[in-house]
């Protein structure tokens, strides 16, 4: 019975003992049937264990991985969030963004976990194999050592469900070369390992078949608490060198179209940026798919993605998470987020009725309402993030 319960847990933990007695903590996302979607239970399990390992002198480093071959994490588990959004809308309490207590808890605890990973005091290796989307990118983006494989596919496709690239996306998309971050937010475009490196979302390209050998190599390192980051870096660089031929011919549409993307997205207004992308004449299937996604996506999400990156340009990571928390609760209280989940996940008709229906209808005063903060600065639920 204990084994059954353990297997059903959304996150599993073990410790590997190195030759010198130090230990490596291994955290495994364990909901393969949902592509390891993030639930509140998973967040809480990860948060408790990662904090325990951070304070354990015997732990040299942490590995964050996932069960199965298809996905590291395809994003958040949105079923409960959808239900509570409908309840909030029906209750007539949409003006009070704190009335959806589940949404308040989910976003606060998820963002705390993401922030913990970004600021983790020990080396953390995120093995981002397979699909990595939305909240999954949020989990891996802050790790000190981020590995992508030949099967990695990364994307922030929140525009398709009426949200925006949250989980720190406002921060890490803003730090990509040129205008790549804005383009990825507006088009939800999927990228592979080589482009993930180019966009600064990952650090190492390693063949997935090398994983077990790499873990065995980690167990013979002379972990001492002082040079552990350097030791992990050397092991990963060596593994990457061995995998160089695997990725030599990998497609890199993001890098290939860098100058074009920068030109398209550098227009002075969002309307011009969107028009530039939509009017693009191209035979490139990757660009065409991005155009289709932008056209079909939520106009409110389009506006938010653009405005957030401008507002947060000089913000700290903690400030970004506090900002995103407020915006996400407003998204939960408004129409598009629930409607996007309904159309894509619940009814699967892929016919969302966005409100407003066009970008031209998104007035700035309406959009600015997403940033109305009901908390004084010192009382913000994430005020303690430093």
Catalytically active residues are 76, 135, 158, 166
Dist. CA 92–CA 149, nearest whole Å:
47
Dist. CA 354–CA 358, nearest whole Å:
8
Q: Which residue shows structure tokens 């940033």?
A: 371
Name beta bridge partners: 307: none
- DSSP 8-class letter at 38: B
Which tokens belong to 330?
């407003």
Dist. CA 347–CA 136, nearest whole Å:
24
- Whether 139 contacts 114, CB under 8 Å: yes
Q: How many CB atoms lie within 10 A of CB 76?
A: 27
DSSP for 133-156 reads ETHHHHHHHTSSEEEE-TT-EEE-
DSSP for 53-116 reads HHT-TTEEEEEEEESSSSEEE-SB--HHHHHHHHHHHHHT-TT-GGG-HHHHHHHHHHHHHHHH
Virtual torsion, Cα 363, 172, 319, 79, nearest 10 deg: 70
Dist. CA 290–CA 277, nearest whole Å:
9
Dist. CA 300–CA 58, nearest whole Å:
48
């Amino acid at each position: 019975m204990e084994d059954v319960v353990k297997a059903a847990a959304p996150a599993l933990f073990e410790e590997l003992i190195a030759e010198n007695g130090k230990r490596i903590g291994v955290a495994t996302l364990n909901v393969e049937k949902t592509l390891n979607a993030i639930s509140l239970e998973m967040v809480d399990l990860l948060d408790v264990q990662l904090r325990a390992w951070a304070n354990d002198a015997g732990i040299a480093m942490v590995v964050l991985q996932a069960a199965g071959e298809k996905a590291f994490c395809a994003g958040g588990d949105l079923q409960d969030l959808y239900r509570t959004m409908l309840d909030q809308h029906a209750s007539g309490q949409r003006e009070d963004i704190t009335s959806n207590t589940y949404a308040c808890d989910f976003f606060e605890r998820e963002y705390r976990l993401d922030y913990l990973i970004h600021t983790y005091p020990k080396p953390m290796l995120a093995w981002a194999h397979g699909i990595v989307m939305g909240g999954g990118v949020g989990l891996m983006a802050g790790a000190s050592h981020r590995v992508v494989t030949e099967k990695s596919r990364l994307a922030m496709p929140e525009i398709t469900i009426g949200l925006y690239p949250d989980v720190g996306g406002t921060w890490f998309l803003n730090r990509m070369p040129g205008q790549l971050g804005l383009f990825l937010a507006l088009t939800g475009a999927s990228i592979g390992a080589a482009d993930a490196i180019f966009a600064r979302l990952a650090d190492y390209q390693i063949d997935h078949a090398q994983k077990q050998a790499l873990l065995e190599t980690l167990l013979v390192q002379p972990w001492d608490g002082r040079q552990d980051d350097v030791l992990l870096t050397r092991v990963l660089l060596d593994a990457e060198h061995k995998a160089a031929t695997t990725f030599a011919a990998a497609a890199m549409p993001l890098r290939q179209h860098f100058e074009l993307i920068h030109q398209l997205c550098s227009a002075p207004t969002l309307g011009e940026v969107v028009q530039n992308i939509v009017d693009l004449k191209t035979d490139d299937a990757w660009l065409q798919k991005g155009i289709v996604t932008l056209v079909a996506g939520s106009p409110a999400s389009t506006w938010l993605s653009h405005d957030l990156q401008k507002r947060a340009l000089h913000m700290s990571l903690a400030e970004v998470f506090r900002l995103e928390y407020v915006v996400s609760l407003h998204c939960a209280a408004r129409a598009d987020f629930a409607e996007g989940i309904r159309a894509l996940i619940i009814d699967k008709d892929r016919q969302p009725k966005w409100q407003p229906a066009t970008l031209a209808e998104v007035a700035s005063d309406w959009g600015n309402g997403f940033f109305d903060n009901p908390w004084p600065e010192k009382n913000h639920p994430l005020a303690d993030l430093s």
